[in-house]
Structure 1
Amino acid sequence: MGNITKRGRRELVADGAEALQEGPAAALHTRLYEAIMREDCAAIQVLLRSHPVNQPMTILANSTSYRLLLNQQMQSIIPIHLAAEYRKARSLLCLLEHGADPEVRDARGLTTLHLMLLHWPITSTTWTKPGNRIQRILTDIQSNAVMCLRILCEHGAQVNARVDNSNKQSPLHLAITYGTYPVLSILAQNGAHVNAINESSMTPLHMAADILNKEMMETLIACGANVNCAVASTGNTALKLAVCTASSKAGRLLAAGVSCIRLLLIHGAKVNARDHEGQTAIHEACFGGREAIINLLLDSEANVNVLTSRGESPIHMYLQRSSNIRDTGLLARLLYHSYPLRLTNNQGVLPAGIMLPEFHLLRETLIKLSQKPLSLEDICKRNIRNIYGEKYKQHLKQLLPVKIWNSLYSYYDLAYLLK
């Protein structure tokens, strides 16, 4: 876990002889390297008199310490970066107190904070109390990492410093990318911009929603993340990104994402927000065809009659896929919310799914429905369903006569059309 293994006296002597053969500078670097890994602050302080604290140490590939602790292709490392990467809290504090600059960057444009996040230990968050030796070790590793992060922040680490590459990610973006959930609140408490955008104009909440990480989303929202911020290049909100991922094949197989979508809606996400193509979350959900998500959006007053810039309604998106069409119960529910029923897009093209020969009866029925104007009674029923939705239909059942309620919520029986 980053600790130097204990070696015998004879091996240490051999290493010392090898270091002397390498030259005074190499021997100095090796001793400083090992002092940092041992967290020997007295030795570090002495060695820094001969080695500038912000200059890299060069460790030769045939060094025993190098082989134990570093990738063999790596030739040098700055002392503070070494302490941060291996979570050596006492060494980190000692180096900072002796002039180490937390903002010094490596060849990849990474600061000490960036490197710490990239090397953050991934441990389980499912246990509440350490129950065995491995869990205790992992908990200690996590605690050491948190301690090092707090030390860095207390000594002036720039929590909004961008990575010097094409992505321009902030530390919060890095934390999302590498799954370092525990650091989000610490960075925010120390001034990290929770709504910062990266090169793709995505905020940390966009990224967390895109991967359906509820814990990260909860933390970011609690720290002030804007749930309705849109990605500049696409117009996607966190809600639409979450719906897209949750509606995918993987989201369906894993039954993931409903709690993330509900979280965003509870915290004020605009259910009918449109992206640059005019799509809303219900368009994305209807294309995916996942019933739980569609129902959740309908309960939150999603508009099933809004059209995209290409003239596509949510029902048009639903009918694009044959797997959706076979769920006649969900199709009927969407039809009862849709008026006027818009089957074609701006070019008059019908959805690809219902053009399949096996759905010819259903296609003819839907076309007739789209051409037939609703009666005043049906329009009133549709408005009531759109206002109260699925969420309050049981409440309405207690208020309305049984016959009226049944007429409101009796959907088309379309199953016979698919036989």
Structure 2
Amino acid sequence: MGNITKRGSKELEADEATALEEGPAVALHTRLYEAIMREDCAAIQVLLRSHPVNQPIPIPANSTSYRLLLNQQTQSIIPIHLAAEYRKAQSLLCLLEHGADPEVRDTRGLTTLHLMLLHWPIISTTWTKPGNRIQKILTDIQNNAVTCLRILCEHGAQVNTRVDNSNKHSPLHLAITYGTYPVLSILAQNGAHVNAINESSMTPLHMAADTLNKEMMETLIACGANVNCAVSSTGNTALKLAVCTASSKAGRMLAAGVNCIRLLLTHGAQVNAQDHEGQTAIHEACFGGREAIISLLLESEANVNLLTRNGESPIYMYLQRSSNIRDTALLARLLDRSYPLRLTNNQGILPAGIMLPEFHLLRENLIKLSQKPLSLEDICKRNIRNIYGEKYKRHLKQLLPAKMWNSVYGYHDLAYLLK
């Protein structure tokens, strides 16, 4: 091969200008598309003289993006959107410096920032450092995405602009939805409203708690998220949403969510906050019957005597499910804190679980127990437990005589109830 000399920018401009004069509009669009993809800023600058920077360009039929975008019923793309979706940092900067509007929307109502978040590369967050070539490549891709995001923010991208669709997601909501953890702090640093609500009145923290994404929850809280903000339509807090997901069948199988719940409680989540139906986190946890979550809420002084608007107590919710009832040790702990013992709701209906034939004797005994008044001694013991809770249980053990402590914190023996 002969020597290859590097062509100067003036020479390149002259060639491009000639090509534009001679070629049709299709050639112009193809050249601009290709220049953006290979980050050829000199070519982009020349081509923009003949093509408005915010006007869409047809996508070449042989490109990957053409095949992807066909599913979205579009065959064109705005230049800045192309650079953002494919994380072409130099092209993005060049387009912005030549008048590209980061707020221009595509046919789906998405701005450049929205599209960048939707196409954010997801890699493992557990790597301390890339361990092999593939990990190195993926890390470089994500670092490049961060660079593009910072460029957008520095050039006027509005970090609170909502998606123009039924969800009305802000960029932070989008980041939560698509798991783009690294962008949260960058958006917050550039003025994103961390407590913004979407069409469902949910904040980003609500969404992160609902999916038990601890990393995102930590970042949002560090950026000032209100842990006690309630969804206006339901009254649900982040704590109740996290408890609901963690208490589900999937949460139980995956042993997920305990750390998320502890995180919220540590940062001041109100454990006894009630939703519009009067339910609290302990109601939700008791219905799910997962001991680790119920224990954590009890340690944080959850009140097991609060009633819903329909008169349902946490013990009522626990007794709804037969699988819960078989855990007599946990049932004993809840009964030991429930006074007065409320077994029915406002309509006088008993929980569905204890109506099963196999729990006939238990049902009868619990009804008798609910009708039996406590002695003054038992009332005092319950008051001590309610005041000091599980939180100071070990501390009291060091202060009180063993016999007295065992008397205060001893649980009912429910064996007789099951005979």
State if a TM-score over 0.5 links the two structures: yes
Q: CA deviation at 1:41?
A: 0.4
Which residues of 2 match residues 1-400 of structure 1 at below 5 A? 24-61=24-61, 64=62, 66-67=63-64, 70-71=67-68, 73=70, 74-400=74-400
How far did residue 69 of structure 1 move? 6.4
SS at match of 2:329: helix
Per-residue CA shift, 1:269-318, capped at 9, x if unaligned? 10010000000000000000011111111111111000000000000000
**Counterparts in 2 of 1:365 and 1:38: CA distance versus 1, 3 Å:** same
Map of 1:4 onto structure 2: none
Give the secondary-structure state (helix, strand or coil) at the position aligned to 2:68.
coil
Deviation at 1:362, TM superposition (A): 1.0
User: 1:357 and 1:96, CA in 2 relative to 1: closer, same or farther beyond 3 A?
Assistant: same
Deviation track 1:161-185 (CA, whole Å, cap 9, x = no partner) reads 0100111110000000000000000
| Superposed CA offset, 1:38-85 (max 9, x none) | 001001101111111000001243xx3x25765262410000000000
Moved more, 391-400 or 111-120: 391-400
- Conservation of the 8 A alpha-carbon contact between 1:326 and 1:418: no
Structure 2, unaligned stretches of length 5 or more? 1-18
The aligned length equals 397
SS in structure 2 of the partner of residue 317 of structure 1:
helix
Q: TM-score, normalised by structure 1?
A: 0.92
Tell me how far apart the structure 2 counterparts of residues 206 and 413 of structure 1 sit (CA, whole Å): 40
Corresponding letter in the other structure for 2:393: K
SS across alignment from 1:71: helix
Q: Residue type matched to 2:262 in 1?
A: R
- Give the Cα separation in 2 of the matches to 1:380 and 1:35: 80
Quick check: 1:355–1:363 contact (8 Å CA) kept in 2? yes
Q: Give distance in 1, aligned partners of 2:52 and 2:25.
A: 12
Shift of 1:397: 1.4
Unaligned stretches of 5+ residues in structure 1 = 1-18
- Structure 1 residue 391: deviation in Å? 2.5
Residue identity matched to 1:105? R
The CA distance in 2 between the partners of 1:393 and 1:240, in whole Å, is: 25
One-letter amino acid of the counterpart of residue 154, structure 2: E
State whether residues 59 and 65 of structure 2, in contact with CA within 8 Å, keep that contact through their aligned partners in structure 1.
no
Q: Is the 8 A contact 2:66 2:75 kept in 1?
A: no
**Distance change >3 Å, CA 157–CA 72, structure 1 → 2:** closer
Separation in 1, partners of 2:394, 2:195: 39
Distance in 1, Cα, partners of 2:304 & 2:278? 13
CA contact (8 A) 2:301 2:390 kept: no
- Structure 1's 306 and 67: CA in aligned 2 closer, same or farther, altered over 3 A? closer
**Structure 2 letter corresponding to 1:71:** L
Q: What is the match of residue 9 of structure 1?
A: none
Deviates more, 1:223-232 or 1:407-416: 407-416
Equivalent in the alignment of 2:7: none
Identity of aligned residues (%): 88
Structure 2 counterpart SS, 1:208: helix
Tell me: CA distance 1:417–1:372, structure 2 relative to 1, closer, same or farther (3 Å): closer
Counterparts of 2:415 and 2:138 in 1: how far apart (Å)? 55
**8 A Cα contact 1:26 1:59, kept in partner:** no
CA RMSD of aligned residues (A): 1.5
- Alpha-carbon distance in structure 1 between the residues aligned to 2:360 and 2:409: 27
Question: 2:247–2:284: 8 Å Cα contact kept in structure 1?
Answer: yes
Equivalent-residue separation in structure 1 for 2:166 and 2:395 (angstroms): 54
Tell me the distance in 1 between the aligned counterparts of 2:136 and 2:379. 63
Following superposition, the deviation at residue 393 of structure 1 comes to 1.6
User: Separation in 2 of the partners of 1:93 and 1:377?
Assistant: 75
Structure 1 110/347 Cα, relative in aligned 2: closer, same or farther at 3 Å?
A: same
8 Å contact kept, 2:300–2:390: no
Task: Give the deviation of 1:415 after TM superposition.
Answer: 3.6
CA distance in 2, matches of 1:86, 1:416: 68
Structure 1 residues 75 and 251, CA gap change in structure 2 (3 angstroms): same
> Alpha carbons of 1:169 and 1:195: their partners in 2 closer, same or farther (altered >3 Å)?
same
- 1:395 Cα deviation after fit: 1.6
Q: For each residue in 1:212-264, what CA deviation from the matched residue of structure 2 results, as whole angstroms up to 9, or x when unmatched?
A: 00000000000000000000000000000000000000000000000000000
Secondary structure of the corresponding residue to residue 344 of structure 1: coil
Give the equivalent residue in structure 2 for 1:412. Answer: 412
Cα drift, residue 398 of structure 1 = 1.2
